[in-house]
Amino acid sequence: MKKLLKKFFTFMNKRYIKTHNLIFIPGSKYNYVYIDILEYKGKDVSLSDGTVIKKGDTVAEIHINNDTIKEVPVTKVIRVFQSEVVAMANVLKNNEDYKNVKAVFGRTVLYPLTKRLGFDVFEMKRGYMKKFIKIWDNLIRVLFSSKEKENGKFREPREVWMSREAIIKNLGEK
């Protein structure tokens, strides 16, 4: 059953990537994170550095590459993800195609990882998206975990945000 579910998740992941035209962060060393540039359509979000994201702002949504997450040893995940965010900072700073991106955000159960890198973490509103991400991300975590025994507790997903300026200032190559 686990093998069949892995195939299903791999198929759905590839379909999502193709449907949404996701690309890896240009200059990425690992191809661990996809990005999608889009127009923000939600309610205003106030970030800790004073940046306010409003409806109509250009934002970059990040997505973990579920095909490679299973290949990264747990002890190296923070280093690999930090490298991806550094690549994002450099793209935001140096690539004309990304000059209008006001912030980077994602929705994930891996928010403790992003918090360590300086992302603001917010509760998600109850609803379909929160339920879907909770089930999807946690099942991927359980299915592709190298641990024989996962605790059955599903982590609640969170929204993570960092402004363009904060990423460039705090995580870009000097």
Q: Which residues of 132-146 are buried (b: 16+ CB within 10 A; e: fewer)?
A: ebbebbbebbebbee
Assigned token pair, 81: 């993800």
Nearest 5°: the CA angle 43, 90, 35 is 45
| E runs forming strands in the chain | 23-24, 33-39, 45-46, 52-53, 58-64, 101-108, 120-123, 158-163
Q: Which residue shows structure tokens 């965010």?
A: 85
Tell me the pLDDT tens digit for each residue of 124-141. Answer: 877 777 777 777 666 666
pLDDT category of residue 149 using cuts at 50, 70 and 90: very low
Strand bridging mode 23-24 / 33-39: antiparallel
Q: Encode pLDDT of 9-54 as tens digits.
A: 778 778 888 888 899 999 998 888 999 999 999 999 999 999 999 9
> Whole-prediction pTM value?
0.81
Q: Are 105 and 62 in contact (CB under 8 A)?
A: yes
